[in-house]
Amino acid sequence: MLSFEDADTEETVTCLQMTVYHPSQQQSGIFKSIRFCNKEKFPSIEVVRFGRNSNVCRYIFQDKQVSRVQFALQPFKQFNSSVLSFEIKNMSKKTSLMVDNQELGYLNKMDLPYKCMLRFGEYQLLLEKEDGESVESFETQFILSPRPLLQENNWPTQSPIPEDGGYSSYFTHRTYPTEMDENEL
């Protein structure tokens, strides 16, 4: 039996909390395969995919309007940093992904801010990162919002992203995403 002094120190784990909303979430069961409020732990080498293909994606949206693989989150460590960060990559050929006011086209990726609004179609996801000490693993946690997140958090309201395209170039005035080959993730 280990004494208290000899026990390993437990590191805190970075947690990515995702609050989700869709206007038909109550009637359609879009989020029925997502376990809300429970934290799920992943090794930091894992790429977490979101979409409707249950063979490829960890988090499934039960909606034919969602791409088979909509987007992916990959943890990484910035130079001179001791905490995990995340990058987000749009995997949909049909629908742009909005991260705050930055539009990501197919295979575009960017570093995820500590707190941001993610939008595609009629989906709204508020992502908030809580730093931890461990670089070996991270956690995700989902919360279901009863109200639209854009209004609840005083984000600028905009039209949903069309299923067959994206916003005009008006919204792409900040930093530019990195274009990459699909085999890099």
- Per run of 10 residues, the mean pLDDT along the chain (length 185 residues) is 60 95 91 94 96 96 95 94 94 96 96 96 96 94 93 54 45 44 52
First to last CA, the chain: 43
Q: What is the pLDDT of residue 150?
A: 80
Q: What is the pLDDT of residue 5?
A: 62
Give the other-Cβ count within 10 Å of 139's Cβ: 18
Q: Which residue bears the tokens 């960890």? A: 58
Among the listed residues 142, 112, 143, 136, the one whose alpha carbon sits nearest the alpha carbon of residue 13: 136
8 A C-beta contact, residue 84 and residue 14: yes
Q: What is the pLDDT of residue 28?
A: 86
Distance, CA of 159 to CA of 32 (rounded, Å): 25
Q: What is the pLDDT of residue 9?
A: 65
pTM score: 0.77
Q: What is the pLDDT of residue 44?
A: 95
Q: What is the pLDDT of residue 10?
A: 77
Q: What is the pLDDT of residue 81?
A: 87
